[in-house]
Amino acid sequence: MYIIYISNYKKKLVYLFLIILLWLAMLASASLFIGQTFLYNLTINEYLTFSYPLKFTIDEIFINEAVQGNTIEANYNISHHIAQKFSTYKSIEGQFSFDYPTAFELNEQHFSGAEILYHIGFKDKNRPIHGFVQVWNMPYSLEEFLEKSKAASMQNFIDFSSQPVTVDGNKGTFWMYSILTNSNTNYKGLEVFWKKDDTMYRISYFIPGNLWNEKEYEIFQKIVNSFKTY
């Protein structure tokens, strides 16, 4: 005797597919409902409060050091909390000072018998951002120095702009440009030059193109505007 059993496997596969599809649809609907209904709340001191969707992540928060009692309250962990702090460098011998981000490392160099009287290099501890502050003994005009410097430069400028600026009560020149290095890396350069009597001051700031943003420009301006001679 032979017994033949026929299983309708196609019908079962269709049922299984419909169950999986229904399950995925429920997950998508639940995710959409949660994303639109539930929000994270963020409060910075008593100055700012706002909400944002769950799918968003706050990467960086910058707080000016002039704001007292920097506190942040959130009902969810923030991936990074960066309070922008500045320290003050003061050269007693050179009789000048300036503020710089506390996250930067400073390195002072002395050049004996050269035009450069002081060189204070700085760099970000975590990113390839660097610059320097220099003091020069320069009895000739600033315009002459800048013309010769640009003409003798071996840099591959992508764009270049120059405009007048005032630093510590003295008229100077602000350069902003992009260069392409030999390793095909784009860098943004910000430089300010000005003279007081026979002394020239120079502040330079260099940022890789992929890290350039408005915050870096503000950091540079903070350094420049804080520069004082006494």
Number of domains making up the chain: 2
Question: Domain with 216 in it: what CATH number?
Answer: 3.40.1000.10
Burial of 188 (0-12, 13-18, 19+ CB in 10 A): buried
Same domain, 159 and 216: yes
- Mean pLDDT of the region 124-149: 94
pLDDT(7) > 60: no
Query: Is residue 111 included in any domain, yes or no?
Result: yes
Domain end: 15, 48, 74, which one? 74
- What pLDDT is attached to residue 58? 57
Domain of 128, in residue numbers: 86-229
Instruction: For residues 145 and 191, state if they share a domain.
Output: yes
**Listed residue (227, 206, 228) closest to 217, CA to CA:** 206
Q: What is the pTM of this model?
A: 0.65
Instruction: Give 152-180 pLDDT, tens digit per residue.
Output: 888 888 899 999 999 999 999 999 999 98
Residue 173 lies in a domain: yes
Residue 162 neighbours by CB under 8 Å, 6+ apart: 173, 174, 175
Answer yes or no: do 54 and 101 share one domain. no
Average model confidence (pLDDT) across the chain: 80
Last residue of a domain, one of 74, 95, 124: 74
142 and 169 both lie in a single domain: yes
Residue 225 belongs to a domain? yes
- pLDDT for 31 beyond 90: no
Start-to-end Cα distance in the chain: 114
Note whether 114 and 223 are same-domain residues.
yes
How far apart CA 203 and CA 175 sit, in angstroms, is 10
Q: What is the pLDDT of residue 92?
A: 84
Domain membership of residue 65 (yes or no) is yes
Domain-ending residue, one of 50, 74, 98: 74
* Structural domain contains residue 160: yes
Is-contact 121 131, C-beta < 8 A?
Answer: yes
* 93: in domain: yes
Contact 36, 28 (CB under 8 A): no
Q: Does 49 lie in the same domain as 116?
A: no
Residue 32: pLDDT band (50, 70, 90) is low
Q: Do 68 and 124 share a structural domain?
A: no
Considering the domain architecture, whether residues 112 and 166 belong to the same structural domain is answered as yes
Q: Looking at the domain assignment, is residue 144 inside a domain?
A: yes
Say whether both 43 and 111 belong to one domain: no
Identify whether 147 is part of a domain: yes
Q: Are residues 119 and 205 in the same domain?
A: yes
Q: In whole angstroms, what is the distance from residue 148 CA to residue 179 CA?
A: 18
Check: CB of residue 105 under 8 Å from CB of residue 122: yes
Kindly state whether residues 104 and 217 are assigned to the same domain: yes
Q: Are residues 95 and 61 in the same domain?
A: no
Q: What is 32-98 written as a DSSP string?
A: HHHHHH-EEEEEETTTEEEEEETT---------TTSSS--EEESS--S------EEEEEETTTTEEE
Residue 57 confidence (pLDDT) above 70: no
